[in-house]
Copies of this chain bind each other. A is one copy, B any other.
Amino acid sequence: MDHRDLPNDALGAGGEVGSEVGSEGGGETSEHITSLEGIPALSLDAISSVAYGPEAMLVVLATAGAGALAKIEPITVAIVVLLVILVFSYRQVIQAYPDGGGCYAVSKANLGHRASLLAGAALVVDYVLTVAVSIAAGVAALVSAFPRLAPDGLSIGLAILAVLTALNLRGLATSARALLLPTAVFIVGIYVVIVAGLSRSHPVAGAQIHVAVPAAAGAIGVLLVLKAFAAGCSALTGVEAIANDVPAFREPKVRRAMRTEVLLGGILGTMLLGLSVLTVRFHIAPEASQTVLSQITGASVGRGAAYYVVDLSTTVILAIAANTSFGGLPVLASLLARDNLLPHVFALRGDRPVYRYGVVVLALLAAALLVAVDADTNALIPLFAIGVFTGFTLSQTGLVRHWHHDRPRRWWARAVLNGLGAVMTAVATVIFVVTKFTAGAWVVVIAVPALIFLFTRVGAYYRDVAAELGFGEVPPMPGAEKSLVVVAVTAVSRMTAAALGAALSLGDVVVAVSVQFDDASAASLRADWDRWDPGVDLQILRPATRSVTKPMLAYLTTVEAETHAHVLVLIPEVEPKKWRHQLLQNQRGILLANALRRHSDVGVARMPFHLRRM
């Protein structure tokens, strides 16, 4: 996608970021990855969701009694069918958008401006939720192994978030190869749990299983099944990540990315099926003190070393999954900022390749969510997946339009597959909103339109600014005027001499101005000035109040009107060598500069006087 063609992109200093558009769509990794490395690099968000997806289903089913828990098997089968459709749909997304294109880009290209706003809003909501859910689930895994940590769950979650934020602000370079080991430990661990569990019909000794659920609390209605399905779909979040970042792969990119997508589908699908069979076999029900995955692990391999390896690798993998959102949201926010839908600071980078503002905003929002639900994963699940599935639907729909427009060979077959994906994910989204509305989905139903409103307001502002700055037009010819340089003086010193020198170099007329509050200091300054006699007039202002800025503004308004010259105010300032000495400098220069900039048209120059010794 190319943002350069948008008129507002080159928005002067207000939007100088426009000039920054480059190749950072997805090509920032210096080393390109293989199909296998695509799993740790791009698929952990999806794979780690086995830690909370099955549990989310059980929590819903448990409300209908222990008998309902077995329904997890058919519902998981339905979810895996949806997964298969999504995997093949996304293989087509990879082919169609080999430059990598999130649902925001696909929507913008194929479905127009409004759909792209919806996609952007849904993605923002979802990145925030991914961070919050992954961290909460990671804490739950940790607490399952070490129950004494339970009272500090929220603090641990916030600490993990703080560490991730700090790493990302420093510009963490995540190497796919470094993540291979923990990923392998986790995946092998889960498979060992499944195989061990399937090979025995009773849980191992030492693992206690409490079924605290009444035998039959109610009928198993369609609504309940739909609710459980909706909750379980949280396990499918992250399936889109590979398609978003195709350029990260080594050549042949498309082929490798497609292979990773299938690999991801295979791993995730078999894990979900295996775990659902084990929950039924071991009569596992949700518990407050232990995650479902922890219970299954304990029942399959016992509470020995193997248990701790699986459980702790779960926490690690979930923390890494949260970290992928830190890679995603700031980049998305920078794209939205370049499209003039978010404040331009989100596209601002310092000398480090990090979008600081996006990282900080993501951290604050995720922290607020964690605090609001006290780091309880299952309280976040009803909010989750709505955004992801909205994105799925938009991507698939966009691709149908894409095939219809481009008409490659067998385009109709491709369109049918993506169309099927679009319909199924759309149906799923509706199910989420309807079944989980009162449980928390209303938050998303409010947040997404609110974000869209924000985008449009921001967009309107930048459009107005662009019009006022006259982008695209040829501006008038600049012409020289007479110039008046006003030097803000507080005392006679070498710094004042340097400032007057600069002023005399720049201005046709130079005047020194000083605001004084009492007679004695005014007279003393006047005497010092006369003794020096630097050839520049000194105006001493004596205001009635103690304000420095107000008399300066009044004075400047008068001289501007009288002289019709271009006015520059020069504020000399001591600039010490050491940073900590900045604390010892008076802030009045900054205050005066800001006030003048805000309330007058004059240019304001702060002139550093560098100390040589300090």
Contact = CB atoms under 8 A, between A and B. Distances in A.
A535 B17 contact: no
A348 interface: yes
Interface string A331-348: 000000000000111001
Interface in A488-530: 488, 490-507, 514-518, 520-521, 524-525
A263 B229 CA distance: 79
How many copies are assembled? 2
A193 interface: no
Nearest to A10: B491
Contacts of A515: 19
A19 B501 contact: no
A534 interface: yes
B586 A13 contact: yes
Which of A464, A476, A585, A613 is the most central at the interface, judged by chain B CB atoms within 10 Å of its CB?
A: A585
Interface in A584-614: 584-589, 591, 593, 597-598, 600-601, 603-614
Contacts of A497: 475-478
A566 B505 contact: yes
B490 A478 contact: no
A350 interface: yes
Contacts of A11: 490-491, 574
A506 B504 contact: no
A584 B458 contact: yes
Given A12-B496, A21-B521, A517-B19, A588 B464 contact: no
Contacts of A14: 573-574, 584-586
Q: Is the interface of A mostly helix, strand, loop or mixed?
A: mixed
Nearest to A569: B605
B469 A483 contact: no
A552 B427 CA distance: 54
Given A469-B495, A506-B483, A351 B586 contact: no
Nearest to A611: B468
Contacts of A570: 603
A413 interface: no
Contacts of A588: 13, 16-17, 348
B608 A606 contact: no
Interface stretch (A154-162, A320-328, A543-551): A543-551
A574 B469 contact: yes
A263 to B, nearest CB: 34
A470 B494 contact: yes
A49 B57 CA distance: 62
A568 B351 contact: no
A265 interface: no
A500 B478 contact: yes
B521 A19 contact: yes
A379 B593 CA distance: 47
A30 to B, nearest CB: 13
A571 B568 CA distance: 13
7 contacts: A13-B574, A351-B550, A469-B494, A483-B506, A506-B568, A573-B597, A603-B607
Given A22-B546, A474-B531, A476-B497, 14 more contacts: A11-B490, A11-B574, A12-B609, A13-B586, A14-B585, A19-B490, A19-B515, A469-B495, A469-B609, A471-B493, A475-B496, A479-B504, A575-B598, A604-B608
